[in-house]
Homo-oligomer: A and B are copies of this chain.
């Protein structure tokens, strides 16, 4: 349960809000690189943290991300011409380069120096992995570039998608660190999803529906360990790393690729659910990639031409009561991703956390909120840089492992929980 003012503090991210300031401390995913596929291609509207922006790729392949609206009279630059090193407003031909600097105002004399004084608010946009990342904060305090393993392995080992989720970022993220729902909501998917099924660990998930949670602090966030009974004298541990503010990884299953998410605010009532799958030591197979494209695993199908899921609240997520009855799917909703999204969206745009009744399996959520709150108030009140910017904080992995009952997971799996380029993940 959260007081209303705390709920507001953690869920509001527009410019000028404390949590908005905190998100602006990080490199965050802004677009799929494939959305800007070539030089001088069509610009793309992007809304992030409540700001309406335009992204483009200029004639030399440089990426720009800036105010959507022309500084002259406010026309949307989405209608702009992307040509010869800049994006030109089609109303009166004002032109901007990838830094937001106005480089031409045709009606003004060149010698007037007018256009030098015009600059749109702009943010850097850099490609790492399949993603274009931005940092929307103070450029004097730019963090080191992102080092997430999924984004830095060779291209053939990784796959990324994004989908529009119609609720606040925090309730989406909380779903990501809550592995206790897997035994219920995803019980059907564990058996049938080609990117999940067949792992030995799944049997423990099915058998023990009362996981015990042990949450450990990490420098960049938390490790959330879910302990289920395994063979005599052993526990099956599923360990989810959470890195501030909104990176999570699902514990792996057998030799399947590992997956995880970023939860990035579009505005207070919408977010981007970024989903990736990668294997640390081998290329994804053709079959695996096809499964991901087809919406299996943590990915999903789309309304054509959009990033909105094909299953969405307007069609009740294509609820199939017969499948629910038969148990093919636990909730009647098809697909791991939409099973989560449907429920998270059903809570409303911003869930009222004053009405919750949390239990011990929600410890991960409770502690994540606590750390977020501590970090956001420290930043607001004392200017303290929050955790999660440091490359070392980002070098994490999820783990699925069977350990003797007397071994503490955090110490035992210390190495397994770190990203180790070229070394396989620890997964049962």
Contact = CB atoms under 8 A, between A and B. Distances in A.
Interface of A: 42, 69, 71-76, 78-79, 81, 90-93, 105-109, 114, 118, 174, 180-181, 183-185, 209-211, 319, 321, 324, 330-333, 339, 342-344, 346-348, 351-352, 355-362
B74 A184 contact: no
B359 A105 contact: yes
A184 B319 CA distance: 46
A234 to B, nearest CB: 20
Nearest to A76: B346
Lowest 6 A-B CB distances belong to which pairs? A90-B331, A76-B346, A74-B347, A107-B361, A93-B184, A75-B343
Contacts of A210: 106-109
A319 B356 contact: no
B348 A74 contact: yes
12 contacts: A69-B355, A72-B358, A76-B346, A81-B330, A90-B332, A90-B339, A92-B180, A92-B184, A92-B185, A92-B361, A93-B209, A106-B184
Contacts of A357: 71-72, 118
B91 A185 contact: yes
Contacts of A106: 183-184, 209-210
Given A79-B332, A79-B346, A181 B74 contact: no
A346 to B, nearest CB: 4
Given A90-B331, A107-B360, A114-B359, A342 B79 contact: yes
A96 to B, nearest CB: 12
A78 B332 CA distance: 11
A219 to B, nearest CB: 28
Contacts of A361: 92, 107
A291 to B, nearest CB: 24
A278 B37 CA distance: 47
Chain copies in complex: 3
B347 A73 contact: yes
Nearest to A365: B73
A346 B107 contact: no
Given A79-B319, A91-B181, A360 B209 contact: no
Determine which residue in A73, A78, A332, A360 has the highest number of CB atoms from chain B within 10 A of its CB, and name it: A73
Nearest to A90: B331
A351 B74 contact: yes
Contacts of A209: 93, 106-107
Nearest to A80: B331
B107 A331 contact: no
Given A92-B181, A185-B91, A75 B346 contact: yes
A90 B320 CA distance: 14
Contact of A42 (B93, B105, B321, B362): B321
Given A76-B347, A106-B209, 12 more contacts: A42-B321, A69-B347, A72-B357, A72-B359, A74-B347, A74-B348, A76-B343, A90-B343, A91-B181, A91-B343, A92-B184, A107-B209
A40 B358 CA distance: 28
A127 to B, nearest CB: 22
B78 A346 contact: yes
A180 to B, nearest CB: 6
